[in-house]
Amino acid sequence: MWIIPLTVVLPLLGAAALAVAGSITPRRWGDAVALLMAALCCGFCLYLCRASAGHELTYWFGGWRPRHFPTTGLVPTHLQAIGIAFDVDPIGAALAALGSLLVCAAVLFGWSYFDSVGVQFQVLLLAFLAATCGFCLTGDLFNLFVFFELMSVSAFALCGYKVEEKGPLQGAMNFAVTNTAGAVFILTGIALIYARTGALNMAQVGAQLRANLAVQPRPGALVLAAFALIACGFAVKAAVVPFHFWLADAHAVAPTPICILFSGVMVELGLYGIVRVYWSCFADALTPERQRLRSLLLGAAVLTALLGALMAWLQSHLKRLLAFSTISHMGLMLMGVALLTPRGLAATALYVLGHGAVKGSLFLGAGIVLHRLRGVDVARLHGRGRPLVWTGAVFALGGLALAGLPPFATATGDDQLSHALNQLHLGGLWLVSLIAAAVTGGAVLRSYLRLFWGFGKPSPAAAHQEKEEPETKPGRIPAVMFAPYAGLLLLGIALTFWPGLPEGALHAAQQFTSSASYRTQLLRQSPPLPQPLSTPGPQEPWRGVLSAGLALALATLSVRFSSLRGRDWGRPFHRLHSGHVGDYVSWLVLGVGVFAGLLLWLPH
Amino acid sequence: MLNIFCYSIAAWVLLIGLYGVVTSRNLIHLVLCLSVMETSTYVLLTLIGYRVGGTAPVFADIPVGTKAVDPVVQALMLTDVVVEATVMALLLALAVQAHKRTGSLDPHDLRALQG
């Protein structure tokens, strides 16, 4: 399969060519090259997603295929993987395709959003794209770490792109320090697991840990500690409470086209890292601990969903509001993953697609507001968005979509999540999902009513501003900005009507979670038992309508009664998010300690 | 016993690095503490690959079957050094910019974002 490495090689080549020749070519060339590469990657990944359904596609770099090594003391009679492989499965390929698509949208939006932008911007975007594809497709633990770091470094640089201002400096600093600390934990975990298994290929690690089960039926402290370190390291990127602090800072200051990449795909990649490592390496070894792990992850998911929703509710800065809503929705995605069942994973996969499209559209809306009105603080811009009728309309639809109103794809994800919860008799947890979706959607709708209609009492700052000359940028919104904005929202609807998407996601999740078939493909071990393919649960539109109705009610009430917006009672939560990197790392250490401690010593 | 002592060095380096990052009042100091944290992974990786009595893993002119330390972790460590150098360069550049903008290296003075 020669296409597989191209998804990484093409963007990297494009980045290198732009870095060399970009300074002497016109600016539009850089945009065009980035757009072309991202579109090609998106096409390749969609093809791979389809082609890998049912059986993983593997590409061994340099032709270093698995071989027999009779003299080693490792698992006998099986092949040993010594080379580095890309292992493509539908879920990873779909995530890479989503990333490529969002890069396309970011480039298009940036086309006329930036007044002046260096070629470094496109170079960094392409490096980010290459790392995203590599991270999603690789089958090697250390390779996973290297692509993760490449993605992180280009994201740090993109976040602090406007480095001449104070905000981006602080945001990029907090982002970089916390995520690098997380990466150290990941690498420590990988080193420990290599020490135990002598392998880096994920299938091989899984096979070796499974073989160790024969000697020691329960996973030892080393395996548990390694998993805890890797999971917590990826959870930093996935913005799981209490590792989430960097996310709002980074989103508030990053250029808007970058925000859609951060929210739409980068954070989800952290979650993908946890899922991939769990199902490929640890699933068999941790089977005795599955119940305990499930409770721990569910606890973190509920906390993340609720705290994110609360913080989103308390914001008046539009980008920060959307950032906290991303945290809240990450909690819902983690909830699906935390069930450790194929159904839960499929629900999360659907949710990631829908959320990526909708949240990308909302961020672009905030970008248009920033571009036109020179600000994103709703309290200051009260009612100034009246001329932007269409921008406002799409924004309001985005808010309803965030609350999970059908026919947006977020509703499909929510339905499947509730079915997955019901399967494990945890249906009550769906209330958390309802609250998170309604509160975040309500916060967006409230901003819409205040910003684009001028409802409610203006804050003193806004009243003061009214007297000054409005600094709205004249002229129409360029089509190249509006097209990705409306296009992403339309994609959010189109995904619902994509034929066979829920079934495809469920089958892909079954394939992903069946680690035995994965190893068979790679190491030609004993053939797996054929699994019956399940069918997804039915759509239940009442759930989405209920949560969108709640969101509308919350928005209307809080516009009418300003005390509901939490200027007073929200202060302790604001103070908690102090913006100081030392505090963030303290929370990180506490989180790792608590998670590892509970995983190791929680009584059964 | 010696083994446990060696591994505890890696843990110790990780923890003092973390302590430095948490309490730092100077961005350069903070970045270097982060670098100390990452050094702990070098110690850990080198220890994992160590074989008592093994030679360097250069297989050109030693007899087949000679005991050697694990070359894989050394490759991992070198890659990690490169990755870390990139991160450090970027963070130090940010620190320089912070000093240019605010005239201070104290992360407390870089307060544009809160809540």
Residue A184 to residue B90, Cβ atoms within 8 A: no
- Angle CA(B77)–CA(B79)–CA(B81) in degrees, nearest 5? 70
Residue B72 to residue A577, Cβ atoms within 8 A: no
Q: pLDDT band at A468, cuts 50/70/90?
A: very low
The least confident of A110-119, A125-134, A167-176, A382-391 is A110-119
Residue A166 to residue B115, Cβ atoms within 8 A: no
Let me know if A259 is exposed, middle or buried by CB neighbors in 10 A (0-12, 13-18, 19+): buried
Is the distance from CB of B70 to CB of B49 less than 8 angstroms?
yes
In this structure, is residue B79 part of a structural domain? Answer: yes
The whole-angstrom separation of Cα B90 and Cα B77 is 20
pLDDT at A467 over 50: no
In this structure, is residue B113 part of a structural domain? Answer: no
What one-letter code names the amino acid at A9?
V
* Alpha-carbon distances, residue A512 vs A10, A90, A272, A462 (angstroms): 27, 8, 11, 52
Residue B72 to residue A579, Cβ atoms within 8 A: no
Instruction: Tell me the torsion sign for CA atoms B73, B76, B78, B80.
Output: negative
CB atoms within 10 A of CB A493: 17
ipTM: 0.95
CB atoms within 10 A of CB A600: 13
Question: From the CA of B40, how many Å to the nearest CA of chain A?
Answer: 8
For residues A489-497, average pLDDT = 94
Q: pLDDT band at A509, cuts 50/70/90?
A: very high
In this structure, is residue B28 part of a structural domain? Answer: yes
Residue A191 to residue B41, Cβ atoms within 8 A: yes
Which positions in chain A touch B21 (Cβ < 8 Å)?
Answer: 177, 181, 581-582, 585
For residues A16-37, average pLDDT = 89
In this structure, is residue B12 part of a structural domain? Answer: yes
pLDDT at A372 over 50: yes
Interchain CB contacts (distance < 8 Å): A and B = 128
Chain B interface mutation, best of A585, A586, A590, highest count of B Cβ atoms under 10 Å: A585
Residue among B14, B80, B94 whose CB faces A173 most closely: B94
Residue B90 to residue A580, Cβ atoms within 8 A: no
Domain count, chain B: 1
Question: From the CA of B48, how many Å to the nearest CA of chain A?
Answer: 6
pLDDT tens, position by position, A203-256: 889 888 888 888 888 888 899 999 999 999 999 999 998 999 999 999 999 999
Q: Locate the chain A residue with the closest alpha carbon to B21.
A: A582
Is the distance from CB of A585 to CB of B18 less than 8 angstroms?
yes
Is the distance from CB of A441 to CB of A313 less than 8 angstroms?
no
For residues A282-307, average pLDDT = 93
Is the distance from CB of A351 to CB of A328 less than 8 angstroms?
no
Which positions in chain A touch B46 (Cβ < 8 Å)?
Answer: none
pLDDT tens, position by position, A384-409: 888 889 999 999 999 999 999 989 99
The whole-angstrom separation of Cα A353 and Cα A344 is 15
Q: Please report how the helices A27-51 and A3-21 are oriented relative to each other, as an axis angle in degrees rounded to 10.
A: 170
Residue among B37, B40, B90 whose CB faces A156 most closely: B90
Residue B101 to residue A171, Cβ atoms within 8 A: no
Q: How many CA atoms lie within 13 A of B65 on its CB side?
A: 1
pLDDT tens, position by position, A45-82: 999 999 988 888 889 999 888 887 765 555 555 678 88
Is the distance from CB of A270 to CB of A334 less than 8 angstroms?
no
Q: What CATH number has the domain bearing residue B59? A: 1.10.287.3510
Peptide bond into A342 cis (omega under 30): no
Range of the domain at B51: 2-107
In this structure, is residue B62 part of a structural domain? Answer: yes
Q: pLDDT band at A33, cuts 50/70/90?
A: very high
Nearest in space to B87 (alpha carbons), one of B19, B47, B49, B41: B41
Which positions in chain B touch A169 (Cβ < 8 Å)?
Answer: 94, 97-98, 101, 110, 112
Domain limits of chain A?
3-459+484-525+536-601
CB proximity list for A144: less than 8 A, separation 6 or greater: A135, A138, A202, A273, A276, A277
Let me know if B76 is exposed, middle or buried by CB neighbors in 10 A (0-12, 13-18, 19+): buried
